[in-house]
Amino acid sequence: MDNNRTIRLEGMTDLQAMSMIGPEDRNLIVLSQCFGKVITFRDSTFTVQDCDQNVYEQIHEVLLALYEVARKNQPVTEQDVTYACRLVASGETVHFDEFSSEVIGRTLTGKAIAPKTKGQLKFVRAMEDYPVVFAIGPAGTGKTFLAVIKAVSALKKGDVKRIVLTRPAVEAGESLGFLPGDMKEKVDPYLTPLYDALHDMLGVEQTDKLIEKGTIEIAPLAYMRGRTLDDSFVILDEAQNTTPAQMKMFLTRLGYHSHMVITGDVTQIDLKSGTRCGLLDASDILRGIDEIRIMELTSDDVVRHPLVQKIIERYSAASETKQK
């Protein structure tokens, strides 16, 4: 008995079809892997082999969601496919329109930057609504990138007069004192993700000019001591490597007309054994204050290679097993 089913999306152009199936059919391959079915595309029609009604409806829903993206002449990525499959499989609705309408900035080449997951959307909206936002989640969830983009956008609009980007200076057991060069040369390798996001938005030359003028300040966390940061967008990255004392020092730098975003991944704590994590400490102590939003992103919000999500989930499961 032939149990193959077909799905045809009305009005789909050849260009939209190419976006849907992806380069070298990569999107189609990912979609097939997600549902464990052979899915082919020919003559504007998707064919799903050996498929029952429930799976057919799920695949149809995923394709409709991806079609939303293609109809706006935006590229459909493998991550879009994986995320849509994940939501549909868990019984949630997928509306990429909701994400794409929340543009928070544009790269130097004009590419719109918008959240790609529900968790990222909540994070972006939290940065709009709260003066202090904690974003806690695994690698690849876009915490740092989105925070820097939001900071640059606020600077361009005149909402703030400067951007302050900071990180704990000692990570992974390495001490700055043993690294060659002056303080900037010692610190810069730790701040590469921050520079990358700035370069995407402003370009290298403009970033360097704003740093030279002091409009953008990139410094180790210790440099924040004794200061009050007014009219600033302040980002503390890799906050899982702060002590409670450092976190308290940082948070009490908040000045008038300023925003603070604190990002970190509590699965990658490099503090010495027995040292309490300042990020966990702060999230426990400050939870429930109306003006502070504490967000938790998950592996569902990973926007890197789909394999990254699987790696994170395996490590999380292994960690839970050890704790038991």
Mean pLDDT of 153-181: 74
Winning range, highest mean pLDDT, from 45-49, 80-84, 129-133: 129-133
- Give one word for 283, left, alpha or beta, with left for phi > 0 and alpha for psi -120 to 50: alpha
Range in 3-17, 88-102, 230-244, 297-311 with the lowest mean pLDDT: 297-311
Mean pLDDT of 177-193: 61
Q: Which of 246, 255, 194, 256 is nearest to 225 (CA)?
A: 246
Query: CB 196: neighbour CB atoms within 10 A?
Result: 12
Q: Which of 163, 261, 256 is nearest to 215 (CA)?
A: 163
- Averaged confidence pLDDT in the chain: 86
d(CA 160, CA 143): 20
Mean pLDDT of 58-70: 91
Residue type at 91 in one-letter notation: G
Residue 263, beta-bridge partner list:
135
- pLDDT band for position 78 (50/70/90)? confident
Q: What pLDDT is attached to residue 204?
A: 92
d(CA 150, CA 128): 9
CA distance readout (Å), 51 to 35, 38, 81, 269:
10, 9, 19, 45
d(CA 151, CA 66): 30
Task: Please write the tens of the pLDDT for every residue from 287-316.
Answer: 999 999 999 998 888 876 667 767 877 887
DSSP states of 101-151 as a string?
A: T---EE-TT--EE---SHHHHHHHHHHHH-SEEEEE--TTS-HHHHHHHHH
Eight-class DSSP state of 212: H
Quote the radius of gyration of the chain (alpha carbons, Å): 22
Q: What pLDDT is attached to residue 172?
A: 39
Contacts 24+ apart (CB under 8 A), 38-44: 41/17, 44/8, 44/9, 44/12, 44/17
Kindly tell me if the per-residue pLDDT of 1 is higher than 50.
Answer: no
Task: Please write the tens of the pLDDT for every residue from 45-55.
Answer: 999 998 888 99
Q: Which residues contact 312 (CB under 8 A, 6 or more apart)?
A: 138, 139, 140, 267, 299, 302
Q: What pLDDT is attached to residue 48?
A: 92
Tokens of 186: 């010692």
Mean pLDDT of 161-184: 65
Kindly tell me if the per-residue pLDDT of 86 is higher than 50.
Answer: yes
Which residues in the chain belong to E strands, given as ranges? 5-8, 39-42, 45-48, 105-106, 112-113, 132-136, 162-167, 216-220, 232-236, 259-264, 292-296
Half-sphere exposure of 122 (CA within 13 A, CB side): 14
d(CA 135, CA 279): 10
- pLDDT band for position 234 (50/70/90)? very high
SS (H, E, C) 71-84: HCCCCCCHHHHHHH
Taking a C-beta distance cutoff of 8 angstroms, is the pair 48, 7 a contact? yes
Mean pLDDT of 221-250: 92
- Please name each of the domains of the chain with its CATH number: 5-99 (3.30.1370.10), 102-304 (3.40.50.300)
